[in-house]
Structure 1
């Protein structure tokens, strides 16, 4: 389980360090920084995939995602006695992401590239990375570090050995230095991070992939676009928890049940509802009903990840479905760490009623996203 999440220099997250629970609910008004928080989490996961530079490019590049305010605020500015003004920059331009779990911690520091004639001269560079044991980075618990083009690993004798000397500035040590013999800790952490799951705005329109019959194979993990919904639901029935699946449908739609049909290898979902003479095909279901089924398939996965993140899962759902959804999320948090980003007060109240986890209510203070009432854990970033 992740115990601490840290972000610095990313959009409105100038310096945010949060203690995480088993179930975490992130809420706040529009513009408070919820989307930035979610994107930062996704970027952190991209580091293990080796795609963090490309993902930043999609967002407009490093310069478009950096904190746009001053490096720090004076007491007079915070008290409203002086205006916010730009000053001479003293620190390096930096975007930092990191976390500490129950066993390992990881952090990455990205910055601007050195001037060059390359057409890729605006790509951000990875300036530093670190993997350590425990909740906070210290020199004594550092087991792998990257500075510039060099990667250093703590070997079996407890000595630091240089394993790579020419790592490209756009490559992560998580993808190039993880080795089952020389760096098993990096390999284990990388694979764990690659298993993180992000579900963001399932499509439910008439052309949504989930509404079309799809070739079905055993599907323990629902795809991000929900295209394999029918196969995922059938997999839950065969190797997962069919009783929980039936209960989730009954909880939201009393008297209803699911049917999975197969024709020429194509799987399709249908729902039989009380009072109707025939089941409704997935193409006939309302947007909210389909979205709820997609969330059921994601949350009841037979292979729970270490971390699952849901971004605004309440979209298109009728208020009556929020309580059943909250019960599903609470049950999923018994098998995975879960982070829910939402602006729906009804969902927050329903999740709070489950009496598990922590609610973070984000606010803006001088343009900076903060979490009032939350005590930030101790944290240290790797040095360049």
Structure 2
């Protein structure tokens, strides 16, 4: 389980250390940084898939995603006695992402290349990358250490060995080096990150793929866009927990049942509702009903991930559906660690009543995202690796 998420220098996340538990609910007013936290976590996941630099490019490049405020605030700025203004920079430009858990910690530090003849001067490069044992980065806990192109690993006796294979400045070591003998920790961290799943803003418009019949194959993991909804639901019915699926539908829509019809290999979701003479097809369902079915398929997956992240799952749902969704999320948290980013009061209140849940409220001070009441929370210790 992850116990700490750390992001620094990304948009409004000037320096944010977030404690995590089995079920973490992130909330706050509009513009407080909830979406930045979600996107920062997705960027962290992209490191293990070789997609970090392209993802930053889609956001406008490193320069567009960096913290836009001063490097530090003076007491006068914080009190309002002085205007916010830039100060002389003493540290290098940096975007840093990291996490720590029960067994491992990982951090990556991105910066700008030195001036040269390359046309890729706006392409961020990896300055430092580390894996360590335990919750806090210490020299004695380091297991894998990457500085620029140089990579070294530590054996069981504590001796360091350099890896002869250099790593390109724009690649993460997680995707470029895999040796179960000299660096088993790297493989463990990479596979852990690759198992994370993110769901946000399922399409429910009239042309949404989930409304159309799709070729059916075994689908233990719902796709990000929900196109394979029918196959995912049928997989739950056949090799997952059909009783839980029926209960989730009954909880939200009393007297209703879903079924998956097979038209020559094309699967389609149908829903029989109380009082109707025929089942409704997916293209006839309301946006809220279809979105709830998508969330059911994601949360009742027969192949639970290490981490499941939901961004504003309440979108398009009627408030009366939120207690049922909360019960579904709480049940999923018994099989996976879950992070929910939401501003739906009713959903948040229902999730906060769960014994294993923790609520993180974000706000902004001088443009920087902070955790409200962080002095009352058990903020974990965190230390970034020096370049």
| TM-score (normalised: structure 2) | 0.98
Q: Give SS of 1:17's match.
A: strand
| 8 A Cα contact 1:149 1:164, kept in partner | no
Q: Which residue of 1 aligns with 2:209?
A: 209
Q: Which residue of 1 aligns with 2:90?
A: 90
1:277-300, CA deviations, whole angstroms, 9 ceiling, x for partnerless residues? 100000100000000000000000
Q: Write out aligned runs for 1:317-328 (5 A).
A: 317-328=317-328
Counterpart-to-counterpart distance in 2, 1:329 and 1:314: 12
| 8 A Cα contact 1:163 1:177, kept in partner | no
Q: Which residue of 1 aligns with 2:116?
A: 116
* Offset at residue 121 of structure 1 (A): 2.0
* Offset at residue 156 of structure 1 (A): 4.1
1:87-106, CA deviations, whole angstroms, 9 ceiling, x for partnerless residues? 11110000000000100000
Q: Which residue of 2 aligns with 1:339?
A: 339
Q: Give SS of 1:233's match.
A: helix
The equivalent position to 1:377 in structure 2, one of 352, 375, 380, is 380
Q: Which residue of 2 aligns with 1:14?
A: 14
| 8 A Cα contact 2:252 2:321, kept in partner | yes
| 8 A Cα contact 1:327 1:354, kept in partner | no
In the alignment of these two chains, the number of paired residues is 384
Q: Which residue of 2 aligns with 1:153?
A: 153
Counterpart-to-counterpart distance in 2, 1:214 and 1:179: 39
Counterpart-to-counterpart distance in 2, 1:370 and 1:327: 29
Counterpart-to-counterpart distance in 2, 1:154 and 1:353: 44
| 8 A Cα contact 2:94 2:109, kept in partner | yes
| 8 A Cα contact 2:362 2:372, kept in partner | yes
1:264-320, CA deviations, whole angstroms, 9 ceiling, x for partnerless residues? 100110000111110000010000000000000000001100100000000000001
* Offset at residue 118 of structure 1 (A): 2.4
Q: Which residue of 2 aligns with 1:49?
A: 49
* Offset at residue 165 of structure 1 (A): 5.0
Counterpart-to-counterpart distance in 2, 1:214 and 1:382: 48
Q: Which residue of 1 aligns with 2:187?
A: 187
| 8 A Cα contact 1:222 1:298, kept in partner | yes
Q: Which residue of 2 aligns with 1:198?
A: 198
Q: Which residue of 2 aligns with 1:294?
A: 294
Q: Which residue of 2 aligns with 1:234?
A: 234
Counterpart-to-counterpart distance in 2, 1:227 and 1:219: 11
> 5+ unaligned residues in a row in structure 1: which ranges?
none
Q: Which shows bigger deviation, 13-22 or 349-358?
A: 349-358
Q: Write out aligned runs for 1:251-266 (5 A).
A: 251-266=251-266
Counterpart-to-counterpart distance in 2, 1:295 and 1:164: 46
Counterpart-to-counterpart distance in 2, 1:58 and 1:280: 39
Q: Which residue of 2 aligns with 1:31?
A: 31
Q: Which residue of 2 aligns with 1:285?
A: 285
Counterpart-to-counterpart distance in 2, 1:313 and 1:184: 36
Q: Which residue of 2 aligns with 1:78?
A: 78
* Offset at residue 182 of structure 1 (A): 1.9
> 5+ unaligned residues in a row in structure 2: which ranges?
none
Following superposition, which runs of at least 4 residues in structure 1 exceed 4 angstroms of deviation? none
Q: Give SS of 1:78's match.
A: helix
Q: Give SS of 1:153's match.
A: strand
Counterpart-to-counterpart distance in 1, 2:72 and 2:150: 31
* Offset at residue 239 of structure 1 (A): 1.1
Q: Give SS of 1:330's match.
A: helix
| 8 A Cα contact 2:72 2:87, kept in partner | no
Q: Give SS of 1:346's match.
A: helix
* Offset at residue 155 of structure 1 (A): 2.3
| 8 A Cα contact 1:271 1:280, kept in partner | yes
Counterpart-to-counterpart distance in 2, 1:156 and 1:71: 40
Q: Give SS of 1:349's match.
A: helix
Inter-CA distance 58–164: structure 2 relative to 1 (3 Å threshold): farther
Counterpart-to-counterpart distance in 2, 1:26 and 1:148: 34
